[in-house]
Structure 1
Amino acid sequence: MSPVDTREPRPHTGRRRNEAVRRAILDAALDLLSDADGAPVTVETIARAAGVGKQTLYRWWPSKGAVLLDALTDYAAQELPTPDTGSLRGDLRAFATATFEASQRAPSAPALRTLVTEAARDAHLAQLMRDFTEARRAVLREILRRGHERGELPADRDVDLLVDQFYGFFWYRFLLGHAALDAVTAERITDSLLR
């Protein structure tokens, strides 16, 4: 019988992501976007802030925008969970309020603005942005599906149209900045969707 090897396994040094390094990079990207000094966020500044070489970022992400989107997706999953208040009205209001509040503060606000701008010039990032928005739309779709199941939303209501109405409203106000995205607005869009 051979002796048991009690040595610690060597850390992987190939292409597989080290979760601690990935987390440091995503946190650094969001921290840089949250800084109010207006300095541009680049692959170099993210790498420096995370304490890694920029080749590490390029090994795992094709662009700065892809890093930022990954960071924002991770942030949204943690900070904007699917509400379950027990009622469709409560869930919609909680979802709208959380979405609107997050879009008005760092790191979401600068990250979203940067990503929208860069996605207009980068087809790969534009696809990643569509994936991100689809993930957020799926959360809202789930809220509406539960409302159907509880009989709070008539079966003939078009869920995809309701999702489009919510996000069309959100993106219009977010990008143009012509009117508030606040708790009062969340209440009003909830009333409008449930009419």
Structure 2
Amino acid sequence: MDAVYQLLQDKPAGHLTMEAVSKRAGVGKPTLYKWWPNKAALIMAMFQERLVGKFENLEASSIEALIRLKMKNMVREFNGLFGKVMADLIAEGQSDPFVLKELYEKHIAVRRAATVSDIEKGKLTGEFASDTDAELLVDAIFGPVYYRMLLKLEPLTEEYGERLVDQVLRGVRPTA
């Protein structure tokens, strides 16, 4: 995992090789293939072990505050190695559907379901309108962050994240 982590800081996932990992780790390629069937599986294992834990167990005073905290963390992480590896995995996934499937099932779907659940709680407490579609709300809030991270047409900043949450949540606040 150390070798993959270090190598990905210098090069994109597409340029990483099992040979480079085995050399950096001081193990033979057969050892790597014993545990991981391919480079994508190895990168995903490192991603899960080293980079993903930063999004776990967040607490806040309200669902909106929790969403804002998730946004702040996401923006910060997408601007570092986590974002680079995420973009690399998405790019790899364009030619290897296994990568996208693993990325979605092991990372994105879990966090998405948790946020959908949070929004459903917010509907029950009156924080959001009762007819709010939680899945669409998650897409509306977090989808643009992936867009900016991947295309790099505009900077991905905390201010952008705050403005995005402000704009999107305006449409789901309960009416008096």
Give CA-to-partner distance per residue, 1:19-47, whole Å, 9 cap, x none.
Answer: xxxxxxx2321221123799942112222
2:100 matched to 1:126?
A: yes
Matches within 5 A, 1:156-175: 156-175=131-150
Q: Which has the larger radius of gyration?
A: 1
Contact 1:69 1:129 in 2 (8 A): yes
Matches within 5 A, 1:4-23: none
Whole-Å separation in 2 of the counterparts to 1:37 and 1:159: 34
CA-based RMSD of the aligned residues comes to 2.4
Matches within 5 A, 1:27-66: 27-35=2-10, 40-66=15-41
Structure 2 residue aligned with 1:96:
71
Q: How far off its partner does 1:48 sit?
A: 2.5
Contact 2:14 2:88 in 1 (8 A): no
How many matched pairs? 169
- TM-score, with structure 1 as normaliser: 0.76
Give CA-to-partner distance per residue, 1:105-133, whole Å, 9 cap, x none.
Answer: 12x13212221221111122222122132
Whole-Å separation in 1 of the counterparts to 2:157 and 2:111: 18
Whole-Å separation in 2 of the counterparts to 1:82 and 1:136: 11
Whole-Å separation in 2 of the counterparts to 1:39 and 1:141: 32
Whole-Å separation in 2 of the counterparts to 1:75 and 1:154: 37
Whole-Å separation in 1 of the counterparts to 2:108 and 2:92: 15
Unmatched runs of 5 consecutive residues or more in structure 1: 1-25
Q: Do the aligned partners of residues 151 and 37 (structure 1) sit closer, same or farther apart at CA in structure 2, a change above 3 Å counting?
A: closer
Matches within 5 A, 1:102-141: 102-106=77-81, 108-131=82-105, 132-141=107-116
Contact 2:36 2:42 in 1 (8 A): yes
Whole-Å separation in 2 of the counterparts to 1:133 and 1:193: 20
- TM-score, with structure 2 as normaliser: 0.83
User: What is the aligned-residue identity percentage?
Assistant: 28
Matches within 5 A, 1:181-192: 181-192=156-167
Whole-Å separation in 2 of the counterparts to 1:168 and 1:128: 19
- 3-state SS, counterpart of residue 180 of structure 1: coil
